């Protein structure tokens, strides 16, 4: 019996993943725990191992598809087994062998009856043991995932927990393991397709089993309008049908994530007015941000009460009320038309990756949300540098981690956060939310973007623990091995732009946090020092720390006090006692 491969949930806040690429093709043999595909979310990129052994008999989600958590994305089975699509394919746009759907479009009259597309939704029960592979839910706020690539091809044997495909969501990119062993009978969703959570993307079963035709391209409601449009224009206008369709569409749009609802609430936007581009009309973060950005074009100034009062008032009184409406004529905030670029001999146009789009949206949202202010402090790292040079070889041999400046800086930041808990808080409407745990996000540069894995409860760790955690998270981030839970829940972030020698910068706050620490390059510089014999100029290791903070709740004095505490810790603490 085919085994379903589903989109795994890589974290509680992930609801979908995008398939980056399949590492197996239909017909390939897959071992349990063998990488099957690579997925992407807006948090991590990861290879997903197959959860079972067998042959990849079906791939139901294409590379690039965004699939919801727990949706079937492929099926494993025995070699030669046909895939069997269970009932779980609502909303998936399938491209595979719809041999039976090809004839209907030919005669125009046949396009009128909408029931035929719904019929395939009842899956054939034949074909042996076939398991639907569904798009897994990688977090509670993720509703879809994009298939980056399939790691198995139809016919491949897939082992349980073996990576089956790679998906991408607006949270993480990750490899999804197979939840069962078998042969991949069919791939229903191709690479590049965005698929809703729990939708069937492939089938897994016994080799030789026949994969049932991927029957449910679109469930009832969405399919009807598309097919009714061609010829029977006069038959479509029943008002009742239109009203019903509208209510269904509205319900789908209102099915949005908590993040989207919060953004809408903060900007006074009715989600029902926003056109959703997600699965089943779901309103995504990009949709709401785009709507808010273009909102000035349709201000609610249009209903000026004055004109209606003017006719009622006597002629002398009428002119004054008419004047105010003219004041409210600032449709000037109209966004300037973006330049139009055309691909050519000397111009290359490349679409943003899901992660890059997510980063872009997050940065714009942060700049709009927080009142950014940045303060800078010069810090003498000489004592830390000397200690590090003296013990780093023994430290690495003993602890299996390199001793960089980051553990010392992180420790100093933790001490400052304990003293000034407002910097470890968040803003929720008119409330300030204080967090007991100190979870430090450490920015890691990747070839394909930027990611901020989180050291959970960093305040409970010593220098050795911080060094190990930092190196481990950075290493797994570059290897696409992070779990969604490891890139969420941060309360304070640190970014190191001194890696290439940069002196300082003004980092953007990582929402919903209220501050971010920037670490500049540490260089030898001539430095004036006060001694008992007077001022002297010495060669010291100097670096600049910058703190961007949200001025809505953090005043300049607090920001400066925070860096002053860090400076004192780094310059005066005997860290050798902590190693």
Q: Where are the domains of the chain?
A: 3-226, 362-578
* Residue scoring higher pLDDT (115 or 137): 137
Lowest mean pLDDT among 83-97, 354-368, 534-548: 83-97
Confidence of residue 363 (pLDDT cuts 50, 70, 90): very high
**8-state DSSP, 85:** -
CA dist 366 and 376 (Å) reads 20
Say which of 372, 555, 560, 574 is annotated catalytic: 555
Lowest mean pLDDT among 23-32, 217-226, 310-319, 406-415: 217-226
CA dist 266 and 294 (Å) reads 16
User: Helices (H), strands (E): how many in the chain?
Assistant: 12, 26
Question: Max Cα separation, the chain?
Answer: 101
Burial group, residue 355, by CB count within 10 angstroms (0-12, 13-18, 19+): buried
Q: What is the CA radius of gyration of the chain?
A: 29
Buried b (16+ CB within 10 A) or exposed e, 48-82: bbbbbbbbbbbbbbbbbbbbbbbbbbbbbbbbbbb
Amino acid 309: pLDDT = 43
pLDDT digits (tens, 9 = 90+) for 379-395: 999 999 999 999 999 99
Question: Is the per-residue pLDDT at 211 higher than 50?
Answer: yes
Amino acid 361: pLDDT = 92
Give catalytic status of residue 551 as yes or no. yes
Helix (H) / strand (E) element for 253: namely: helix 239-254
Amino acid 166: pLDDT = 87
High-pLDDT (> 90) share of the chain, %? 42
Residue 220 · residue 89 · CB < 8 Å: no
* Residue scoring higher pLDDT (94 or 463): 463
Confidence of residue 528 (pLDDT cuts 50, 70, 90): very high
Question: Is the per-residue pLDDT at 345 higher than 70?
Answer: yes
Give catalytic status of residue 523 as yes or no. no
How far the first Cα of the chain sits from its last, in Å, is 56
* Residue scoring higher pLDDT (481 or 535): 535
pLDDT digits (tens, 9 = 90+) for 509-519: 999 999 999 99
Buried b (16+ CB within 10 A) or exposed e, 326-341: eeeeeeeeeeeeeeee
Say which of 372, 459, 551, 560 is annotated catalytic: 551
Question: Is the per-residue pLDDT at 245 higher than 50?
Answer: no
- Per-residue pLDDT averaged across 217-226, rounded? 39
Residue 34, both tokens: 């063998």
**8-state DSSP, 110:** G
CA dist 131 and 487 (Å) reads 31
- Per-residue pLDDT averaged across 415-443, rounded? 97
Amino acid 353: pLDDT = 85
Confidence of residue 129 (pLDDT cuts 50, 70, 90): confident
Q: What are phi and psi of 435, to 5 degrees?
A: -105, 135
pLDDT digits (tens, 9 = 90+) for 66-120: 888 888 999 999 888 888 765 444 444 443 434 444 444 444 444 434 333 333 3
Superfamily of domain 362-578: Chloramphenicol acetyltransferase-like domain (3.30.559.10)
Amino acid 79: pLDDT = 86
CA dist 215 and 211 (Å) reads 11
């Amino acid at each position: 019996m085919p085994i379903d491969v589903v989109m795994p949930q890589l974290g509680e806040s992930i609801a979908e993943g995008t398939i980056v690429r399949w590492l197996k093709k239909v017909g390939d043999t897959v071992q349990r725990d063998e990488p099957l595909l690579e997925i992407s979310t807006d948090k991590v990129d990861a290879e997903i191992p197959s959860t079972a052994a067998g042959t990849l008999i079906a791939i139901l989600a294409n590379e690039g598809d965004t699939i919801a958590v727990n949706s079937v994305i492929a099926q494993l089975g025995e070699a030669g087994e046909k895939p069997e699509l269970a009932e779980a394919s609502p909303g998936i746009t399938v491209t595979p062998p719809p041999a039976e759907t090809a004839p209907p479009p030919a005669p125009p009259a046949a396009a009128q009856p909408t029931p035929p597309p719904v019929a395939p939704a009842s899956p054939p029960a034949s074909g042996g043991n076939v398991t639907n592979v569904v798009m897994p839910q990688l977090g509670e706020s993720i509703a879809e995932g994009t298939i980056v690539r399939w790691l198995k091809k139809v016919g491949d044997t897939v082992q349980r927990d073996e990576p089956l495909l790679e998906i991408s969501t607006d949270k993480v990119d990750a490899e999804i393991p197979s939840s069962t062993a078998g042969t991949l009978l069919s791939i229903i969703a191709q690479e590049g397709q965005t698929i809703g959570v729990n939708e069937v993307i492939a089938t897994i079963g016994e080799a030789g089993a026949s994969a049932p035709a991927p029957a449910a391209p679109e469930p009832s409601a969405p399919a009807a309008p598309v097919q009714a449009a061609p010829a029977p224009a006069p038959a479509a206008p029943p008002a009742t049908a239109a009203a019903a369709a509208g209510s269904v569409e509205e319900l789908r749009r209102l099915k949005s994530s908590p993040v989207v609802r919060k953004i809408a609430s903060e900007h006074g936007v009715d989600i029902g007015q926003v056109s959703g581009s997600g699965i089943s009309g779901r309103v995504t973060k990009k949709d709401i941000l785009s709507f808010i950005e273009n909102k000035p074009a349709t201000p609610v100034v249009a209903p000026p009460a004055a004109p209606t009062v003017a006719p009622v008032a006597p002629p002398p009184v009428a002119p004054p009320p008419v004047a105010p409406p003219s004041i409210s004529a600032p449709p000037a905030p109209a966004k300037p038309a973006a330049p139009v670029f055309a691909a050519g001999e000397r111009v290359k146009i490349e679409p943003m990756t899901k992660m890059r789009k997510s980063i872009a949206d997050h940065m714009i949202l942060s700049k709009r949300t927080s009142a950014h202010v940045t303060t800078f402090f010069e810090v003498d790292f000489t004592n830390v540098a000397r200690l590090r040079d003296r013990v780093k070889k023994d430290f690495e041999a003993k602890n299996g981690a390199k001793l960089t400046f980051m553990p010392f800086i992180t420790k100093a930041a933790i001490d400052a956060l304990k003293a000034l808990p407002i910097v470890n808080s968040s803003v929720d409407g008119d409330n300030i939310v204080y967090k007991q745990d100190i979870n430090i996000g450490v920015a890691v540069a990747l070839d394909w973007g930027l990611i901020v894995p989180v050291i959970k409860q960093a305040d409970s760790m010593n220098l050795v623990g911080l060094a190990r955690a930092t190196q481990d998270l950075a290493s797994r981030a570059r290897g696409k091995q992070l779990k969604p839970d490891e890139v969420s829940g941060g309360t304070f972030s640190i970014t190191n732009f001194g890696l290439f020698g940069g002196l300082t910068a003004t980092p953007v706050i990582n929402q919903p946090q209220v501050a971010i620490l920037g670490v500049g390059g540490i260089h030898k510089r001539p430095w004036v020092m006060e001694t008992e014999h007077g001022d002297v100029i010495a060669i010291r290791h100097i670096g600049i720390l910058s703190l961007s903070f949200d001025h809505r709740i953090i005043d300049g004095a607090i920001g400066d006090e925070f860096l002053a505490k860090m400076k004192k810790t780094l310059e005066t603490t005997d860290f050798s006692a902590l190693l």
